[in-house]
Amino acid sequence: MSFLAREFRSADGTRVPVHASLARTRVPPRERTLVLHLHGGMERGRDPARLLSTGLGARLARRAVPKTIVLVPQCPRRATWLELLGALVELVSHSVAAFGVDPRRVALTGVSMGGAGAWALAAEHPDLFAAVAPICGPVPHARGYPARVRRLARTPVWAFHGAKDRAVPLSSSVTLVRTLLDAGGDARLTVYPDVAHEAWEPAYDDPAFWAFLRRERRRT
């Protein structure tokens, strides 16, 4: 496994620490899926080591995901992902070129604050991602939501939430998925009946989750 730590600088000067996880494989780059992962609020800051302390980052530090390249950027301490959407788009474009992946095979996931970021990033750039998997994400706190997720009607979305979540109510994911379904979208929601906020634990442990992200191709 290769684990690269870098700092990405966007055109407007925004600096974003990034970890990139690559499985050692003979699979050609264009046959791998590039996955952008947006962490939750507790991992914000300027210390990239925090990205490896919990959730998907901790898993990737132990073992890479086969046939994928996973990007884990770090959000500044006093910001949210909604303030970094432009920088994230630039990061994806840069990484597609740098790693030589197929631009039709780019997927997005995020947890909690990162779940809201995933919903918003995908909705504001509906032609960028092949698949989106928000986990325990609140409705983005921005003008036009939840209605703006209708822009994702042509993108497969699989959301996840714990029924016992007290940090972000299950109703947030229900509302977002229902809004997308009402627009004719390809969306589904998995609810874990005995899970609280940490819905990412069973989701990221499920091989079907990764199969979903690898299977999809961006629709043109």
What pLDDT does 2 receive?
A: 55
What pLDDT does 1 receive?
A: 45
* CB-based burial label for 109 (10 Å; 0-12, 13-18, 19+): buried
Q: Is the pLDDT of residue 59 over 90?
A: no
Contact 189, 177 (CB under 8 A): yes
Domain boundaries, the chain: 2-215
What pLDDT does 108 receive?
A: 98
What pLDDT does 163 receive?
A: 98
- How far apart (Å, rounded) are the C-alpha atoms in residues 204 and 3? 18
Average pLDDT, integer, range 197-212: 96
Answer positive or negative: Cα dihedral of 173, 168, 83, 22.
negative
For the stretch 69-104, pLDDT in tens is 999 999 999 999 999 999 999 999 999 999 999 999
Beta-carbon neighbour count of residue 54 at 10 Å? 17
> Where is 187: in which H helix or E strand?
strand 187-192
- φ, ψ (nearest 5 deg) of residue 85: -60, -45
Kindly give the pairing relationship between strand 15-22 and strand 68-73.
antiparallel
Average pLDDT, integer, range 163-174: 98
Q: Which CATH class is domain 2-215?
A: alpha beta
Beta-carbon neighbour count of residue 57 at 10 Å? 22
pTM of the full predicted structure? 0.95
For the stretch 129-139, pLDDT in tens is 999 999 999 99
